[in-house]
């Protein structure tokens, strides 16, 4: 599933190419792609026609387009884009339409396509609500700020983590505590700070928790600079190009390989139906 850097790459591409343009045509090719829009595909299509895309937004791994009346500035709703496991927002002609789920055309003739091989993603129109002084779509209201948010309060998150009596990695993945950190970047941040993900959050000193959050911010910023992490063709930017941060990963996916820091053989443990990758020497598991 795309994590914060990958979603931010897509948001930036959309901001550059679609902001200020209006939607002149929409067609839903697969009903699952609009299943979160309870009023159905007809309602979504009717409400999008003529709508002006006034900007883009993101919180954690959630992405949206803010909408206003054509020629107006009243932003009251947003088109929330759920990328799911394989969702892609593509601009221009697409080479393969087998997985085309929603097709839109902008007023300058640009094609905006939602392609989703596994059909876990989709589009949803939602009202904008204000949370902590920031307008976000209603389905995103429960999501905490992410480490790349200018208003992210690291000290507050550290205080929250100090009250959590469960594994620190589990808390990093809890989008109500801190958003945007998925499995890949959690493992990378834990490796950078020499913390094992199985350690109890409440038992870690405030200083170490702050270092961990800083490391998450740093690794996601590094990934953003390289277009994100792409293990296959499912994650691409708006131009259909893959990111290449995979080459820079220090922990994730490196089971059986030498730790880049100490040379010990990297390990993999099962975790929440996923995998955790770590160095047994640099990141020893907690006793007991």
Residues designated catalytic = 2-3, 61, 274
DSSP the chain: ---HHHHHHHHHHHHHHHTT-BEEEEEES-GGGGTTSTT-HHHHHHHHTTEEEEEEEEETTEEEEEEEETT-----EEEEEE-TTTEEEEES--S--TTEEEEEEETTS-EEEEEESS---EEEEEEEEEETTEEEEGGGTTPPP-TTSTT--HHHHHHHHTT--SBHHHHHT-TTTS-S--HHHHHHHHHHHT--TTSBGGGS-HHHHHHHHHHHHHHHHHHHHTT---SSTTS--TTSPPP-GGGG-SSTT-TTSBPTTT-PBPEEEEETTEEEEE-TTTSPPPP-
């Amino acid at each position: 599933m795309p994590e914060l850097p990958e979603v931010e790459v897509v948001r930036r591409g959309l901001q550059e190419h679609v902001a200020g343009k209006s939607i002149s045509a929409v067609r839903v090719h697969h009903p699952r792609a609009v299943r979160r829009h309870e009023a159905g595909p007809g309602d979504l299509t009717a409400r999008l026609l003529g709508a002006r895309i006034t900007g883009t937004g993101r919180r954690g791994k959630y992405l949206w387009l803010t909408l206003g009346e054509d020629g107006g500035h009243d932003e009251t709703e947003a088109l929330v884009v759920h990328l799911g496991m394989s969702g892609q927002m593509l601009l221009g002609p697409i080479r393969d339409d087998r997985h085309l789920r929603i097709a839109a055309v902008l007023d300058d003739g640009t094609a905006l396509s939602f392609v989703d091989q596994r059909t876990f993603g989709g589009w949803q129109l939602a009202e904008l609500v204000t949370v902590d002084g920031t307008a976000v779509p209603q389905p995103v209201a429960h999501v905490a700020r992410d480490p790349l948010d200018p208003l992210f309060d690291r000290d507050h998150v550290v205080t929250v983590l100090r009250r959590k009596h469960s594994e620190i990695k589990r808390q990093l993945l809890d989008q109500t505590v801190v958003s945007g950190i998925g499995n890949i970047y959690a493992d990378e941040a834990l490796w950078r700070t020499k913390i094992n993900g199985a350690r109890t959050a409440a038992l870690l000193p405030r200083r170490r928790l702050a270092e961990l959050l800083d490391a998450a911010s740093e690794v996601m910023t590094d990934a953003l600079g390289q277009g994100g992490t792409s293990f296959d063709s499912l994650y691409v930017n708006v131009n259909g190009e893959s990111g290449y941060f995979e080459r820079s990963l220090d922990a994730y996916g490196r089971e059986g390989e030498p730790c880049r820091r100490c040379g010990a053989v990297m390990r993999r443990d099962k975790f929440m139906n996923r995998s955790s990758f770590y160095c047994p020497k640099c990141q020893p598991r907690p006793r007991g």
